[in-house]
Structure 1
C-alpha cells in the first residue's frame, strides 16, 4: 500500500505534442488556434484533482520581428477564452508581478511564415502558409509541459503590428526576444530557458506598459517602463523604445531625446541599429507628414553625435521591401543610405572619413510581406553598423 501511495503521488509525465492531434494541413487561423490551444492546455494530469493552477499568458509574438501583431493578439485571446471555458483547473490571470509571485503556469508562443504546410522551415519571402506554436511552462518547476504546432493559411493572418510596435522607431537583435524564442523552441519535459525565467519580472512590467500605452494612458506607461528599466533584465529594446515614445507623447522632449540616445547606444552596442525612416515613393526625401518625420532630424543628429564620440567607423545600409525590380531596389536603397550618411556628416564632419553607405535592396527582409505599408516598414529600414576603422 505504501508503494502504491508513493507511485500515485508522483507527478505524471507531461503530455506529448501528439496527445491532442493537430493536423499538418494549413487551416484558417481561428480553427488552427483552437486546435493549438486544445493541445497546449491538455495538462490536466499535471494538476492534482480538486486544485487549480494560475495561468498567465506572456504576449505571443511574430518570430522574425519580435512584435505583437493583430494575429498574435487574436491567438492569445482565443487561447484565453478556451482556458476560461473548458479548463476549470486553470485560473487565468493577467500577466503581472502579482501573478508571477504565485509561480504560475505560463503560456507563450509565436507565428512565422514557412515554406509549406507541415514544414518547420521558416521563410523570409511572401508565403501562403504560416506556422504557429505555443509552449506551456511551469514557473514553479522551470519545466516545459507542452509544445504543439499548427499551420495556418496566410490569407487568414493579419500581420499588422499592434500600436506600440507600429510606433516603435528602432529595431535590433535583442536578448529578451532571443530568450523568449529559445523557450518557445523547448521540448516537453525539458527546462525553460534560464535567461527567459530571469527576465520574467521585466517581461510582466513591459507587458503592462504596452497595454497602458495602447489605451492612451501615457503617464502609467512611462511609470511601467521606468519600473522595467530598473529590473536586472530591463535593458531591452522594448523598454527603451517605450521610454522614448511615452516621454514624447507627454511632451517631455528633453527626456525623449535622452531616451532615444539610450536606444542608439544600445543598438550600437549590439552592432546593429535599424531605424524606421519613411521616404517618399521612389525618392530619397522623407515623407512630408510631420506626424511621421518631424523627429527624424533629432534622430540623425543624435546618431551622428554618439557615433562621432566612439573610436569607430560606421556603415549605413539601406534596405527595400520585396516589391519592385531588384535593380531598382538596389539603386534606391543605396541612394537613401547615401542621403542619410550625408546628413550624419553634416551633423558630425569627422564621420566623412569614418563612414560609408551601401544598399542591400530587398535581399535582407525581416517581414517579407511586400505590402509597402506599416506591416513591412522594417523591410524599408536604414541600418547603422559600427565597424573597425581600416588603416
Structure 2
C-alpha cells in the first residue's frame, strides 16, 4: 500500500501537481525522473515534513527558511545546476498557500531565519531493470535544519534522469585557482545527508553566519560587482571562523579583477598557506592541452598559471618543507596511458617550478597517479569531471623524497 501511495505521489509531482499527504514523508525516489519533477519531489517532501512537525501556533507565525547554496559533492563547487535548484525551490514554495518566506541565504536574513535548507548534487550508478550495466545518474540529497535546536527536521533524496545538467561552475568557482573543498564543505555534505532527528554538523552550525556572508560575497562576484564582493570578502577575512579556502579565493579573484595585483598575490599566498595548514596539500586547476604536457592555449590563463606557480615557489622558499607533485587524469583511455600522461604532466610542472627555484628539484618528487585517485570518476572529459584532471602538491616529510 505504501509503495502504491508513493508511486501515486511521484506521478502527481511529475504532472506538476502537489497533492501528497503529509503522512508520506522522507521517501527517496525509486527511479530517475526529470529535473523539474525531482525538484517537485524534493520540495514537497521537505516542506510537508516541516509542516507536519509544526504546532498550530507555529503555523500562525511567519516562518523564515533560507537556502544555503547546493554544492557538487565531488568538487565542492557551486555549479549552475545549484542555482537552478535554488530558484526552483523558491518558486515551488510560492504557490503552496503556507505561511513561509523562503529566500536565498544572506548575512542579513540568516539571523532571523527559523530553518536553513541545504543540499548536495552527486553521481551514483543506477541499475536499470533488464540491463546488465548500471547507468550513472545524478542524485540530490537535501535537509532542513531547525536553527533553534540544531536538529535535522527533514531530509530526502531524489534521482534525476537528465544526463546533461548545467554543470559549469558559477563564476567564482570557475575562476578559482584551487578546488574549494575543505572541512567547511565537508560539514555541509554531512548535514545534507543526515537523517531526520540527527544533530546537524557542529562545524556547519557554528559557522553558518560566516557562510551566509561568504555566499553573499560570492553572489556579488558572480554579478561582477567586484568592489562589493571585495568589501564582503574582506569583512569575512576578519572573522576567526573564516580562515578557509573560499575566503582567500574571493580576496584573490576580486583583487585580480580590480587589477590590484599586489593585493591579489598576497591573498593567493595566504590561500596556499591556508590550504596546506588545513589539508596538507594544494589542488591547483592547471589545464593542459589534450594528450599534451603543454598548458592550454589561452594566454591569459597561462599568465595566471605563472602567478600561481611563483607563489608556490615563494612558499617553499619561506618554509623548509618537501612535496610530491602528483599528476592526475580523468577516467578515459587505458590505465597505462593515463599513468604515463599524468606523470609527464607532473614532471613538467616540477621543471617549471625549478626555473624559479632550482632547489625545488631536491625537495620534490613527481608521481603519476593516472585515474586511480579520481574524485568524480565520470570520464566525461568536461566540467563535471574537471577535478580529476588536476595537479596536486602534497606536503610530505623530506626524508620521503
Q: Same fold (TM over 0.5)?
A: yes
314, 331, 355: which one aligns with 1:322: 331
3-state SS of paired residue (1:300) = helix
**Partners of 1:171 and 1:181 in 2: CA distance:** 16
Q: 2:347 aligned with 1:341, yes or no?
A: no
What is the number of residues matched between the two proteins? 370
- Structure 1 residues 348 and 200 mapped into 2: Cα distance closer, same or farther (>3 Å)? same
3-state SS of paired residue (1:147) = strand
3-state SS of paired residue (1:149) = strand
Q: List runs of 5+ in structure 2 lacking aligned partners.
A: 1-20, 129-133
Aligned partners of 1:16 and 1:188 also within 8 Å:
no
**Which residue is 2:224 aligned to?**
216
**Which residue is 2:242 aligned to?**
234
Cα displacement (A) at 1:332: 1.1
44, 65, 68: which one aligns with 1:38: 44
Aligned partners of 1:117 and 1:151 also within 8 Å:
no
Q: Which segment is superposed worse, 206-215 or 364-373? A: 364-373
Cα displacement (A) at 1:27: 0.9
CA displacement, residues 264-314 of structure 1 (integer Å, 9 cap, x when unaligned): 112222212110111122221212312222111121111012023222211
**Which residue is 1:362 aligned to?**
371
**Which residue is 1:141 aligned to?**
149
Q: List runs of 5+ in structure 1 lacking aligned partners.
A: 1-14, 119-125
3-state SS of paired residue (1:170) = coil
- Structure 1 residues 74 and 94 mapped into 2: Cα distance closer, same or farther (>3 Å)? closer
**Partners of 2:208 and 2:100 in 1: CA distance:** 20
Instruction: Report 1:197-208 matches (<5 A).
Output: 197-208=205-216
**Partners of 1:16 and 1:274 in 2: CA distance:** 45
Q: 2:32 aligned with 1:26, yes or no?
A: yes
Q: Which segment is superposed worse, 99-108 or 331-340? A: 99-108
3-state SS of paired residue (1:384) = strand
Q: 2:300 aligned with 1:291, yes or no?
A: yes
Give runs of ≥4 in structure 1 deviating > 4 Å.
Answer: 15-18
**Which residue is 2:70 aligned to?**
60
Q: 2:393 aligned with 1:384, yes or no?
A: yes
TM norm structure 2: 0.87
**Partners of 1:295 and 1:104 in 2: CA distance:** 43
TM norm structure 1: 0.89
**Partners of 1:297 and 1:311 in 2: CA distance:** 22
CA RMSD of aligned residues (A): 2.1
Aligned partners of 1:330 and 1:360 also within 8 Å:
yes
CA displacement, residues 349-383 of structure 1 (integer Å, 9 cap, x when unaligned): 22221110001112222233333334432211100
